[in-house]
Structure 1
Amino acid sequence: MQPLDRLASQVGKQSAGLNACTGGYVTEGFEPVAHAFQASVLSGATLGAACTIMRNGETLVDLHGGWKDQSCEHPFGGDDVALVYSLTKGLTGMAAAVAVSRGLFSYDEPVAGIWPEFSAHGKEAITVGEALSEQAGLAAIDYMLSLENIGDEAAICAAIARQKPNWTPGDHAGNHAYTLGWIASELIHRRDPAGRRLPQFFADEIAGSLGADVFVGLPDSFDRNRIARIEGFGMQDLFIHHATMPWPLTFEMCLPGTLAFRTLNNPLLLKGPGALDCDAFWRVGQGAAGGMASARGLAALYNAFAEGGEKLGVTPDVMARLTKGHQPPRKGLKDQVLTADMYYSYGFEKPFDEWEYARTRSAFGSFAVGGSLAFCDPEDGIAYAWITNKLGTGKWDDPREKMVRDAFYACLESRS
C-alpha cells in the first residue's frame, strides 16, 4: 500500500476554492487514482469526498479528502458517513435480495399476493420484480409528505396501495425517488416472521452481519461528529450551473403538475435535496433516499455481492437475476420522471448503452443526486464506492467521480 502524503496543510477558506488535506492509500500501481482523487478535491468543485475500491476482496483504493462541512475546519475522514440519497436504493435492493434468498417472497410473485390492498386501480398483476425495478407507475403519490409524517410508514404504504399508477405498469420505468423504499419495506414487513421493516431488517441481516458503517435509519447512539454535512443546491442552480441534467427534467422539476415535479418535490417543495440533511430525516430510515454511509461501508457491502453473495446467504439464482437484470419495460428504457434512459433492475441500476459505468454488464449498483456512485461487478470482482457531500447538478457520470473511476479502470487495464 502507498500512503498519501498530504498535498497541502489546512489553510482554511480561499476565495477561488478550497484547499484541504487528502489521506488514505492506494495499492502500488494505482497511484494515478490518488492523483485523480486529489485533483477532484483540490479543484474546489468537491467540498469533501471519499472513495473505496475493492477487487476480489482486496482493498486497492481507500481515499478521503476535503472538508466535512462548509466551515472548512474539519477534514472529511475515512470513517465519516454522509447522507447518500439514492445510493440507498441499492441498499434496499440488497435487502430484497436477501429476503428473496430466504424465501420470504419471490421476484415473480404478485405484490398483491403479499399485500392485498395493493391491487387497487389495476395493480393486481404487478410483480415484486417489476415494483423493485421501478416499473409499477408509483413514482409520484398523492399523499403529501413532510419531515413530520415521512416516518409514518403505515399511513404512507396505505396511500401507495390505493394510488392510481402514473402509467400502465410494465410499459415504462421511472425514478421511484421515495416510494421504492416503502414498497420494499412493506413487502419485508408482511413476510418477515419477526415483522421487521426495512431499516431493522437491513441493520440485522446486512450491515450488522458485515460490520459496515451503513445505515437505513441512523441510530441515536451513532456519533453525530462523524457525519459529513451536505452542501446542497437550489432550484435556481439547475439553470445557473446547468451541467448534464436533461433540460426537459430541469424545466419539469419546476412546473407544478408534471410527473417530475410531483415525484421530486414531495416532500420539501422546491427546497432542493440538501434540505433533507437533518437529524429528523437521518433517523427515519427512508429506504430510497435516507441511507447514511461511509465509502468504506458501501464498498464492503458491494464486495459481498461481488464475491457471489454467500456471506449474506444470497442464493446463486438470485445472484444470476441481479447480474442478468430484470426484463426492461415494454416501451423502452426512457425514465418517465428523469426524461432520459435508465435501466432499473431489482432495486439497482444496470449498465446500458448510454451508461457503461463498469467493464461488464454483470454490474449493478446505484447513483445518487449530486454525483455519488456505488456498485459491484461480480464478473470483474469489483466493489466501488465514491461519495461526496457537495451535490452537483448533473445526472450520472459526475465529472468529479468519473475522473477517479476512469483512472482506476485505466490502472486495472494496464495490469491485465
Structure 2
Amino acid sequence: MAHAFQASIASGAALGAACTIMHRGKTLVDLHGGWKDQSRNRVWEADDIALVYSLTKGLTGMAAAVAVSRGLFTYDERVADIWPEFAAHGKGAVSVGEALSEQAGLAAIDTRLTLENIGDEAAICAAIAEQKPNWAPGDHSGNHAYTLGWIASELIHRRDPAGRRLPQFFAEEIAGPIGADVFVGLPENFDRDRIARIEGFGMQDLFFHHTTMPWALTLKMCLPGTLAFRTLNNPLVLEGPGALDNEAFWRVGQGAAGGMASARGLAALYGAFAEGGDKLGVTPEVMANLSAGHPYPRKGLKDQVLTADMYYSYGFEKPFSEWEFARTRSAFGSFAVGGSLAFCDPEDGVAYAWITNTLGTGKWDDPREKTVREAFYACLENRS
C-alpha cells in the first residue's frame, strides 16, 4: 500500500499527497509525501492541510446530519417551511432531503459570483430562493458545485437557536469536538505555513491530457450557455479550479467547495460516522438514512451537470452500480475535482481520506488514489 502511494509521488503524478485510513476506530494507514508547493522546498508534513474542493460537500452533509439529529429540521420537511422565500418558481414542494441530494435544480444561479461577493451569504441565499430551477425539482440531480453549501447554511441559520451559519456550526459542533484539522472557513490564526498549495490545470489540459472525464462534460464546460458552463464557471470563468486557492477563498467558508483539511482530520470525522455517529450525537435514525441513501431522482441518476450517472444523497455521494468506491452500499462520502476522495463505510467500519495538491483532469477513480484504495481493500480482504 505504501508503495502504491509513493509511486505517484516518485513519478511526479502528484506534487504532494496524504492518505489516512481507519478501520473500526484504529488508524491502519497514515501516509504523506511530496511537496507543499511547486518550489519543492517545503515537504508535506503529516498534519498539513489543503483546499479540498468538493470534499467540502461531505462536511456540509455532516453538519446537516448533526442538525437533523438535534431536531433543527428533518430530511422530510419542506425547505419552504423553514425558508418561505424558497418556494418561488415552483420550488415549494422541495424537501430538505431532496435539496441536500442535489435534486432541487439549483446547480446554476443567474447571479454573477465573484471572490468579492461570494462571502455575502444573505444576498446569495436570497438569489437562490428567487432562482428558477434548472430542471423540475425531483426529476433529476446535478452537481450543485457551490449552491449546496449555501442552501445547507441557510437551513441551519434559520433554525439554529444561536443563528449560526454553516462555518461556525461546523467548527463548534463537528470539527471542534473531534479535534480535527478541518475547516469550513479558515481561521485567521491558523499557521499558513501548514497549507499545501494547489497545482491546478488550465482548461486546455482537459483536452490535451484527457483521462476519465466524459467528453460531453469537457466540451460543455467550455460552451457558454450550457448548464455545465453556468454551474462550473461561476465564479471563475475558464480559469480552472486552481484559481480558488487563495486567502480570500480559504477564509470565506464556502460550504460546497471551500473546505480546508488534512487527511488525518477528514479520516477522524468520517471515523466518527463509521463508528455509528455517537461522538457527534448523530441519532441511529439519521445514520440509517445516510446508510440507506435518499431515493433516486424520478428520471434516473444522470447528473444534469456532469453528464454521467452520480448518486447524491443528503450532502454526500454513495456507491452505485457504476462507481462502487467501497465494499458495501452503506458507504457515503464525497469526491472532488482533481482526484481527492473521502468517505466512511459504517457496515465495514472504514474511514478513508486521500487528498492531493496536484489536480488531475479525471472525474472519479483518479488512478493515483484508486491504486491506494484497492491496495487497502486487498489487505483488508486478507485480514478478514
1:331 aligned to 276, 290, 299, which one?
299
Tell me what 1:400 maps to.
368
Tell me what 2:101 maps to.
133
1:152 aligned to 117, 120, 124, which one?
120
Distance 1:246 1:177 in 2: 17
Shift of 1:40: 1.7
Tell me what 1:322 maps to.
290
Shift of 1:128: 0.2
Matches within 5 A, 1:231-270: 231-270=199-238
For residues 319-348 of structure 1, the C-alpha deviation after alignment (integer angstroms, 9 at most, x for no partner) is 000000000000000000000000000000
Counterpart check, 1:55 vs 2:34? no
Distance 2:246 2:283 in 1: 37
Matches within 5 A, 1:167-206: 167-206=135-174
Matches within 5 A, 1:218-229: 218-229=186-197
Counterpart check, 1:99 vs 2:53? no
Shift of 1:123: 0.2
Aligned-residue sequence identity (percent) comes to: 85
1:364 aligned to 332, 350, 369, which one?
332
Secondary structure of residue in 1 paired with 2:28: strand
Tell me what 2:353 maps to.
385
2:79 aligned to 97, 107, 111, which one?
111
What CA RMSD, in Å, does the superposition of the two structures yield over aligned residues? 0.3
1:74 aligned to 42, 45, 49, which one?
42
Distance 2:12 2:187 in 1: 32
Tell me what 1:19 maps to.
none
Shift of 1:220: 0.1
Distance 2:308 2:44 in 1: 33
Distance 1:414 1:340 in 2: 34
Distance 2:8 2:290 in 1: 32
Distance 1:363 1:275 in 2: 31
Matches within 5 A, 1:265-276: 265-276=233-244
For residues 364-412 of structure 1, the C-alpha deviation after alignment (integer angstroms, 9 at most, x for no partner) is 0000000000000000000000000000000010000000000000011
Runs of at least 5 residues in structure 1 that lack an aligned partner in the other structure: 1-32
Counterpart check, 1:43 vs 2:11? yes
TM value normalised by structure 1: 0.92
TM value normalised by structure 2: 1.00
Which of the two has higher C-alpha Rg?
1
Tell me what 1:7 maps to.
none
Letter in 2 for 1:85: Y
Letter in 2 for 1:132: L
Tell me what 1:12 maps to.
none
Shift of 1:41: 1.3
Shift of 1:415: 1.1
Runs of at least 5 residues in structure 2 that lack an aligned partner in the other structure: none
Secondary structure of residue in 2 paired with 1:292: strand
Letter in 2 for 1:329: P
Counterpart check, 1:289 vs 2:257? yes
Shift of 1:201: 0.1
Distance 1:50 1:118 in 2: 40
Distance 1:241 1:366 in 2: 24
Tell me what 2:33 maps to.
65
Letter in 2 for 1:77: E
Count residues in correspondence: 384
Letter in 2 for 1:386: W
Secondary structure of residue in 2 paired with 1:63: strand
Secondary structure of residue in 2 paired with 1:358: coil
For residues 178-209 of structure 1, the C-alpha deviation after alignment (integer angstroms, 9 at most, x for no partner) is 00000000000000000000000000000001
Letter in 2 for 1:161: A
Shift of 1:43: 1.2
Distance 2:76 2:372 in 1: 38
Distance 1:362 1:46 in 2: 30
Matches within 5 A, 1:350-361: 350-361=318-329
Distance 1:232 1:77 in 2: 20
Shift of 1:273: 0.3
Distance 1:113 1:322 in 2: 23
Distance 1:78 1:123 in 2: 45
Tell me what 2:90 maps to.
122
Letter in 1 for 2:381: E
Distance 1:210 1:58 in 2: 15
Secondary structure of residue in 2 paired with 1:351: coil
Shift of 1:277: 0.1
Q: Which has the higher contact order (CA 8 A, sep 6+)?
A: 2
Shift of 1:355: 0.3
Counterpart check, 1:216 vs 2:168? no
